[in-house]
């Protein structure tokens, strides 16, 4: 009996992609494993031992050997540095807080891996993400959908996948009830990575001081002393560099509570080298301006559309209105906390990802309101 496929599986060395590969082998597919080597350091801390480290490559190779499938390692260090690390640094320098996983998915994984899939004559590209893709016969479009088990849903970080990509991608774990079930399956299949911890940190940041130390190492010029000011412009303290802060941050500001209430970072102004601080209620906003709005569903509504949306991966989606046009934005029914420029906002219609984009600065909302008033 001839095998189905071939299928290219992106093997990161973690339990999820390993189980995805094993499921396809079990279902009778011809499987080819490919690991992207995108960072040069070998991490001993399992929180950093994600798809970037040399140790992850060895884990993927061992799993492929157990499954009896060919396994290749390809060097994408330069592509990763240009699309992810350089962007990470420049975004912090501009006072924004980037999401490197989204950048990697958008500019590296689902561009270069799909190219390799076609070069190898494979029918599909499989990854270990928890999401689903469904074909809508009525519209002729592919839908990116949330995973059946909400615990590990990763549709948020995949929002930028386009129709040309969705048709060639498959997420076998999208129907798994939870991560525990995935680990149990890995144990049943005899995979050595069954109990490997999930990566919790930014894979290329191994410095003890976290991302701030990484930035100081690679761009010390973006750290210079400046003023901490309140929302009306009063100087309340001094900081060591705007790039070391993010909107919503409470710890590390170095200020005592004001009238017994803690202070938070509410805005960053790198051009003025100022960090704006305020009380918790000053973090609440309803308008979220967006850049680079991506309609992965393939359909662009004629006007505003009601959606469920979230501005952080682990946030419960909230009711909002998505507005396209010259100044795309989300208008939430109720105020949400810590709208952070550089992060991602994703809008859902039911379980389907409708659109998503990068959160831009408050000034965009102000321009949008000014434009609407002038008209």
* Residue of 51, 52, 101, 104 marked active site: 104
* Residue of 51, 52, 122, 203 marked active site: 203
Write down how long the chain is: 375
Q: Are strands 329-337 and 344-349 parallel, antiparallel or unpaired?
A: unpaired
Helix (H, G, I), strand (E, B) or coil at 336: strand
CA distance 318 to 362: 20
- Which residues does residue 170 pair with via DSSP β-bridges, in sequence order? 126
CA distance 197 to 135: 33
CA distance 356 to 282: 25
Active site residue 51: no
Helix (H, G, I), strand (E, B) or coil at 311: coil
Cβ–Cβ under 8 Å, residues 354 and 307:
yes
Q: Which residues contact 199 (CB under 8 A, 6 or more apart)?
A: 14, 46, 47, 48, 49, 50, 51
Active site residue 203: yes
| Residues labelled catalytic | 104, 203
């Amino acid at each position: 009996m001839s095998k189905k496929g071939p299928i290219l599986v992106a093997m990161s060395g973690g339990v999820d992609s390993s189980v995805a590969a094993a499921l396809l082998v079990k279902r009778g597919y011809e499987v080819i494993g490919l690991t992207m080597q995108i960072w040069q350091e070998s991490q001993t801390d399992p929180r950093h031992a994600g798809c970037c480290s040399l140790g992850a490559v060895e884990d993927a190779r061992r799993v492929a050997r157990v499954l009896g499938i060919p396994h290749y390692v390809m060097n994408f260090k330069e592509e990763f540095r240009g699309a992810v690390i350089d962007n990470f640094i420049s975004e912090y320098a501009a006072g924004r807080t980037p999401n490197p996983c989204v950048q990697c998915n958008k500019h590296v994984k689902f561009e270069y891996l799909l190219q390799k899939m076609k070069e190898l004559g494979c029918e599909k590209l499989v990854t270990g993400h928890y999401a689903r893709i469904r074909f809508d016969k009525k519209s002729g479009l592919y839908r990116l959908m949330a995973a059946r088990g909400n615990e590990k849903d990763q549709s948020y970080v995949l929002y930028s996948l386009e129709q040309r990509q969705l048709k060639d991608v498959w997420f076998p774990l999208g129907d798994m009830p939870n991560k525990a079930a995935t680990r149990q399956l890995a144990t049943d299949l005899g995979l050595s990575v069954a109990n490997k911890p999930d990566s919790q940190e930014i894979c290329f940041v191994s410095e003890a001081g976290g991302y701030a130390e990484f930035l100081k190492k690679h761009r010390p010029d973006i750290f210079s002393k400046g003023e901490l000011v309140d929302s009306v412009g009063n100087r309340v303290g001094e900081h060591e560099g705007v790039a070391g802060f993010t909107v919503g941050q409470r710890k590390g500001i170095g200020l005592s509570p004001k009238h017994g209430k803690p202070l938070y970072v509410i805005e960053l102004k790198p051009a003025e080298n100022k960090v704006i601080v305020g009380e918790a209620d000053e973090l609440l906003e309803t308008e979220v301006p967006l850049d680079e709005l991506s309609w992965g569903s393939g359909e662009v509504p004629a006007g505003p559309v009601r959606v469920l949306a979230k501005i952080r991966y682990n946030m419960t989606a909230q009711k909002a209105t998505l507005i396209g046009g010259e100044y795309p934005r989300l208008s939430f029914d109720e105020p949400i906390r810590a709208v952070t420029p550089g992060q991602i906002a994703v809008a859902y219609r039911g379980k389907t990802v409708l659109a998503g984009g990068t959160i831009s600065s408050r000034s965009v909302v102000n321009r949008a309101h000014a434009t609407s008033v002038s008209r």
